[in-house]
Amino acid sequence: MLTRHSPEDVRAFEREFQQALSDAAASYDTRALDDVIDRWWRIAVVRSTTLTNAEQDQLDRAHVGDFTGMLEQAADGSFRRIG
């Protein structure tokens, strides 16, 4: 998935994966390896998702500081309007 949708990220993933794999082999602790896979899975999913026109418009506005109508999710799962 990453190769198809974000080939420029493949080397960074492979480097992080190999380091985590090496660390896991030495320590028998796979948490770092699991973290790398989880992180890069999320990146691959985001890169493979095509935004709707409305989502792209919202992103374009946010890039220039216009957060009108946007919501932010708090740690407790609730939402609050930020713009």
Calculate the CA dihedral of residues 40, 42, 46, 47 and round it to 10 degrees.
10
36 and 2 co-located in one domain: yes
Q: Is the pLDDT of residue 83 over 80?
A: no
Task: State pLDDT tens for residues 62-78.
Answer: 999 999 989 999 999 99
Examine the domain organization and report whether 28 and 61 are in the same domain: no
Is residue 25 located within the same domain as residue 11?
Answer: yes
Same domain, 43 and 63: no
* pTM (2 d.p.): 0.64
Q: Are residues 22 and 59 in the same domain?
A: no
The DSSP H or E segment spanning 46 is: helix 31-48
The answer to whether residues 1 and 29 belong to one domain is yes
Taking the C-alpha atoms of residue 23 and residue 31, their distance in angstroms, rounded to an integer, is 10
For residue range 18-51, what is the model confidence (pLDDT) as tens digits?
999 999 999 999 999 999 999 999 999 988 899 9
